[in-house]
A and B are shown apart, each in its own frame.
Chain A
């Protein structure tokens, strides 16, 4: 396959960025998208040019490192697929492909396609946990968890923290990411004692980071490589309203 790439190149956080165009011949349709970028980078290094900086690690769709907007879609055209699991057979010979970093004030570009997603870590640090000390916990089977609750918690906990939801949202909102953690912990009996405190603190941090608001476009859900549902945003809305109107006490 022959393809033409338009890649966002930006030397540093403060630098001006622009699109550079590259042409690659002999791309195998069996290559993953990131392997195609490897080929490009090998070519650039051989020419003594700086390779395209992009984040990646596990290359099996679970670490959440990779992420780039490919032809207008976070992680590219295939649904429920991370960029690392996207393969070139999704494209045609002669295609032009535009590659851009996540665009959000809360995710400033560090270099080329790499953005700073530490805002997510700070949101988790604000309350995305159950405050139990190591040791001093009851036997694992002392707390039965109804299977549907455990399944729901798992569905929400499948979030890989890649940031595609923010990238896809017309408002650059992080609601799906935050809601997934709220729903994960809030669906379990272990998460109840801190449920309302957690939602207040996490939402406050989310807002402080400069993400946009949620106006229910549902682009996040469509872009999420793990198919996290906007159902959890509804839960966040409920929990936060309850916390703000009534307080953080656990209601019977």
Chain B
């Protein structure tokens, strides 16, 4: 990827990271909203999933935007990190932090963990490569006929303890990433006002926690048999 003149500065590169990051945050919110339909029963989530496939043009646009965001996000982050590593060739013997957080200092690591997990997650639920037997299930939707049984796939998969464990770990990394990410992206985009900045920083952390709770509920409910697969 070549630097266009506009993106030659780290500040502009960081803007790309911020915008693509925010796109993915929006996706996480949308994705969770959809996923939570699992608690509304097989009808709800399966018809939602089928509906998504009906508007395939939209779906593919979203997928392309997401993929592009992911690639740009990772590319620029890794590059910038490399640059900053060079900016301090000799480390301090002793360094005490006052304002930065565990989350802010581990963005690259948490990001790369999430990135690898996403590949696994896609292989599992989108391409059906991990438990093909769960992926193959179908469901008869009233007024429509047989559709892909997302409900059973999700619940059965999560009843495999290691799938759930991996998922919870990954979602925890997402949370850690987001604790710093959202407000940082807004700061990078220049959204700052003395009066609101503290609320924005708190809201950013709250969002990370809410998303974590939401995402974790599904494997927990599956493991504890609150959600049961269709027989």
Contacts and interface: CB of A to CB of B under 8 A. Distances in A.
Interface centre among A204, A215, A219, A221 (most CB of B within 10 A): A215
Interface residues of B, number: 43
Contacts of B20: none
B98 A216 contact: no
B30 to A, nearest CB: 25
A98 interface: yes
Interface in B142-168: none
Interface residues of A, number: 47
B87 A106 contact: yes
The interface residues of chain A, by DSSP majority, are classed as mixed
Given A103-B90, A172-B87, A240 B6 contact: no
Contacts of B91: 103
Contact of B12 (A172, A218, A235, A240): A240
A212 B88 contact: yes
Interface in B94-127: 94-101, 104-105, 107
B147 to A, nearest CB: 44
Nearest to B18: A237
A217 B99 contact: yes
B184 A240 contact: no
A237 B10 CA distance: 10
Contacts of A213: 10-11, 13-14, 80, 83-84
A162 interface: no
A8 B183 CA distance: 37
B191 interface: yes
A72 B83 contact: no
Interface string B1-35: 00000101111111100000000000000000000
Nearest to B91: A103
A236 interface: yes
A171 B86 CA distance: 9
A210 interface: yes
B107 A215 contact: yes
B138 interface: no
Contacts of B9: 203-204, 207, 240, 244
A211 interface: yes
A71 B107 CA distance: 25
Interface stretch (A35-43, A47-55, A129-137, A226-234): A226-234
